[in-house]
Structure 1
C-alpha cells in the first residue's frame, strides 16, 4: 500500500519546513546582518554556512520528509532516522555555528553553569548512551510513542544529549571542555562500546519488542504522532504489515543492524578526520619537536660533561 494515502501534510510536514526556514534565516541574520552586535565577531566562513545548512537540510529530511512517516511505520527506518539524527546532525550544527555566537549563548547567566557541567566529557558520554538505551527499552519506547507531548519532550532531550556528547569533540571555543588529538578516538570508541548492548538486544531478540510496531491498535495510536487524526479516521488500517514485506521480527533485527552499521560508518569518518588532523599538526610542528629533542640532548650532554 502506498504511503501517499496519508496525505501531503503527513508526508512533507509543511509547518516543520516553515520552522526550519525561519531558523535558517535567523542564522544568517545573526551571522551576517547583525554580527556587529556580538563581541569578537568574525565574518561568516563559507564552510560554516555549508555545515549549518547541511545540518538543517538533513534535519528536515529526517523529521519532515516521508522518512519520518516511514519511521513510524517500519522500525528499520526509525533506526536509520535515529542514527543520522543523533550521530551526524549535531556535529554539523555545532561546527556550522560561529564560535562567537556559541560564546554569547553560553555566557548567559543561567546557561553557563549548566552547559559547563553537562559537557564534561565522561558525563556527556554516559548520559547520551544512557538516554539512548533507556529510550529503546520496550516499556519506555511504547509509552513515549503513545503521546505527542511526551514524544516531543523525550525526542528533544535525546537530541540535546547528543549535542552535549559531540561538543567536546568538535567545538572550537577556548575554555570549553574538549579533547585534543588522539584522545578523541578513545571518546568515540567509548560510545561505540556503550551503544553495543542496546543494539545487540534488538538484533538477537527472539521475538518482537515493541507493541507500536507489532500491535495494530498501539501502532495506529503511534501513527497519530505524524498523521492528522481526521486522515487516520478515514483509513481502514490494521498495522504496518500493509506497507512492508518484512515480518515484525525481521524488521526489528534489521533496524538494530542498520543502526550499528551507520554508527560505525559515521565514527569511521570522524576517526579518519581526527587522525588526519593529528597527523597534520604533528607534521606542522615537526621542526619544533626536532629542535626540542636536539636541545634536550645537548643539555644532557652538557650536564654529563660538567657533572
Structure 2
C-alpha cells in the first residue's frame, strides 16, 4: 500500500519546512546584515554557510520528508533518522555557526556555566550514551512514541545531548572544552563502545521488542504524531505490515545493523579528517620540530664534552 494515502501534510510537513526556512533566513540576517551589532564579528565564510545549510537541509529530510513518516512505519527508517539526527546534523550545525556567534550565545546569562558543565567531555559522552540506550528500552520507547509532547521532549533532549557530545570534537572557541589531535579518536571510539550494547540487543533479539511497530492500536497511536487525526480516522489500517514486505523481527534487526553501519561510516569520515589535520600540523611544524631536536642534541653534546 502506498504511503501517499496519508496525505501531503503527513508526507512533507509544510509547517516544519517553513520553520526551518525562517531559521535559515535568520541565520543569514544575523551573520551578514546584522553582523556589525555583534562584538568581534567576522565576515561569514562560504564553508560555514554551506555547512549550516547542509545541516538544516538534512534536518528537514530526516524530520520533515516522507522519511519521518516511514520512521513510524518501519523501525529501520527510525534508526536511519536517529543515526543522521544525532551523528551528522550536530557537527554540521556546530561548524556552520561562526565562532563569534557561538561566543555571543554562550556569554549570555546562565548559558555559560550550563554550557561549560554539560560539554565536559566525559559527562557529555556518558549522558548521550546512557540517554540513547534508555530511550530504546521497549517500555520507554513505546511510552514516548504514543505521546506528542513526550516524543518532542525526548527527541529534543537527545539532539541537545548530541550537540554537547560533538562540541569538544569540532568547536573552535577559545576557553571551551575541546580535544586536539589524536585524542579525538579515543573520544569517537568511546561513543561507539557505549552505543554498541543497545544496538547489539536489537540486532540479536529473538522477538520484536516494540509495540508501536507490532501492536495495531499502539501503532495507530504513534502514527498520530505525524498524521492528522482526521486522515487516520478515514483509513482502515491494521498495522505497519501493510507498507513493508519485511517481517517485524527482520525490520528490527535491520534497524540495529543500519544504525551501526551509519555510525561507523560517519566516524570513519571524522577519523580520517582528524588524522589528516594531525598529519598536516606535523608537516607544517616539521622544520620547527627538526630545529628543536638539533638544538637538544647540540646541548647534550656540549654538556657531555664539558662534563
* TM-score with structure 1 setting the length: 0.99
Question: Secondary structure, in 3 states, of the residue corresponding to 2:25?
Answer: helix
User: Does 1:262 pair with 2:223?
Assistant: no
For residues 170-181 of structure 1, the aligned pairs below 5 Å read: 170-181=170-181
Corresponding position of 1:294: 294
Corresponding position of 1:247: 247
User: Does 1:56 pair with 2:56?
Assistant: yes
Corresponding position of 1:121: 121
Question: Secondary structure, in 3 states, of the residue corresponding to 1:108?
Answer: coil
Once the two structures are TM-superposed, the CA of residue 208 in structure 1 deviates from its matched residue by 0.5
Q: Distance in 2 between matches of 1:297 and 1:18?
A: 65
Once the two structures are TM-superposed, the CA of residue 100 in structure 1 deviates from its matched residue by 0.4
Corresponding position of 1:16: 16
For residues 130-149 of structure 1, the aligned pairs below 5 Å read: 130-149=130-149
**How much is the aligned-residue C-alpha RMSD, in angstroms?**
0.5
Once the two structures are TM-superposed, the CA of residue 175 in structure 1 deviates from its matched residue by 0.7
Q: Distance in 1 between matches of 2:154 and 2:143?
A: 11
Corresponding position of 2:182: 182
Q: Distance in 2 between matches of 1:295 and 1:140?
A: 62
Once the two structures are TM-superposed, the CA of residue 75 in structure 1 deviates from its matched residue by 0.2
User: Does 1:160 pair with 2:157?
Assistant: no
Q: Distance in 2 between matches of 1:296 and 1:194?
A: 43
Corresponding position of 1:90: 90
| Unpaired runs of at least 5, structure 2 | none
* TM-score with structure 2 setting the length: 0.99
Q: Distance in 2 between matches of 1:168 and 1:298?
A: 39
Structure 1 runs (4+) greater than 2 angstroms displaced: none
Q: Distance in 2 between matches of 1:292 and 1:65?
A: 56
Corresponding position of 1:109: 109
Deviations 1:80-132 (A, max 9, x none): 01001100000000000000000000001210000000000111111111111
Once the two structures are TM-superposed, the CA of residue 6 in structure 1 deviates from its matched residue by 0.3
Question: Secondary structure, in 3 states, of the residue corresponding to 1:150?
Answer: helix
Question: Secondary structure, in 3 states, of the residue corresponding to 1:127?
Answer: helix
Q: Distance in 2 between matches of 1:303 and 1:31?
A: 57
Once the two structures are TM-superposed, the CA of residue 44 in structure 1 deviates from its matched residue by 0.2
Q: Distance in 1 between matches of 2:102 and 2:170?
A: 13
Q: Distance in 1 between matches of 2:296 and 2:166?
A: 38
| Unpaired runs of at least 5, structure 1 | none
